[in-house]
Amino acid sequence: MIRFEQVSKQFPNGTFAVKSLDFEIKKGEFFVMIGPSGSGKTTTLKMMNRLIELSKGWVWINGKKISDYDINELRWNIGYVLQQIALFPHMTIAENIAVVPELKNWSKEKIAARIDDLLNMVGLEPSVYRNRKPSELSGGQQQRVGVIRALAADPEIILMDEPFSALDPFSREKLQDDLLEIQRKLKKTIVFVTHDMHEALKLGDRICLMKDGEIVQVGSPHDLLTNPVNDFVREFVGNRKLSIHLEELITPITGELEFVSDTKTISLSTPVDEVLEHLASFEHISVEENGKAIGNISRQNAMKVMSRYLREGGQIHE
């Protein structure tokens, strides 16, 4: 889907922002880029939609060099969400969402239906919020609008540059959950920059950890937690092991929750590290005790539990 081939960015003063990057992002993947300040993660993101031009190498999208795309065609197919929400203050919420669809000459009826669908998707009642101005919304609500505005013209790719870092912890957690639900429904290719390891572990299918303009390790959250390639990764992740009991990951089967079939089945005695390995391949795992189904473990819920433990620190040991 998106492929970097020997990509470097050198600024006029001779400083390299990134050096010889080689990696690929798969279609429909939630790919998180993380690293300390100055690691090159935001520069790498901005090269994908040519907000920053690369100095050497090639970036490919769907098998075509980005330099061969018409710049408008390229950017219309890439949604972009910033930390600074950047809604147009003089325009209504509906008008903000409609900007790119109007540029693509969508009909008024199609645009109106799309606006309502997207507002409903993030829990903002269209009849209440459609005609409000950004100043009438909370920070979390404005950022929800920023996310769905990026989705408005149904782009294949969404780039997100630390979109939740300015929010309070409650709003941030809610937006993360909303984004995971949107991704579950729409399966966009999302490239997400963050400085927060907890956020990366919760959201990412794969995480790309960068340092000094180079990639140190790319892997699943489980890979980085259990198989760090060097001391830098180990220290950045936190050099921590999770003291989590299997029962904490399980959603019990009730009258409302049916047993998930056609997936991996494990016993209640399975070690947690083995469960996490299975979750690298399966979205859901079914749990049995004495041959009877008792519950399910979802990848999303497991990442939430792990993130909470990392954040709270109470059940983590060196």
For the segment 198-222, the average pLDDT, to the nearest whole number, is: 93
The predicted-structure confidence for 153-208, as pLDDT tens digits, reads as follows 999 999 999 998 888 888 888 889 889 989 988 999 999 999 988 899 889 999 99
| Interaxial angle between packed helices 299-312 and 272-279, expressed in degrees from 0 to 180 and rounded to the nearest 10 | 130
Task: Give the percent of the chain with pLDDT over 70.
Answer: 92
**Domains (ranges, CATH) in the chain?**
2-237 (3.40.50.300), 241-317 (3.90.1280.20)
The predicted-structure confidence for 46-89, as pLDDT tens digits, reads as follows 999 999 999 999 999 999 999 999 998 899 899 999 877 788 99
Distance from C-alpha of 49 to C-alpha of 80, rounded to nearest angstrom:
9
C-alpha triplet 288, 289, 292: angle, nearest 5°: 65
The predicted-structure confidence for 9-24, as pLDDT tens digits, reads as follows 999 999 999 999 999 9
Please check whether residue 9 is in contact with residue 52, taking contact to mean a CB–CB distance below 8 angstroms. yes
| Interaxial angle between packed helices 169-186 and 139-151, expressed in degrees from 0 to 180 and rounded to the nearest 10 | 20
Beta-sheet strands, E only, within 246-307: 251-252, 264-267, 284-289, 292-298
Average pLDDT of the chain to the nearest whole number: 87
Query: Which residues are CB-neighbours of 270 under 8 A, at least 6 positions away?
Result: 246
pLDDT (0 to 100) of residue 312: 58
The predicted-structure confidence for 248-286, as pLDDT tens digits, reads as follows 888 887 654 444 555 788 887 787 778 888 888 888 888
Residue 229: closest CA among 209, 206, 201: 209
pLDDT (0 to 100) of residue 262: 53
Examine the pLDDT at 90 and tell me if it is beyond 50: yes
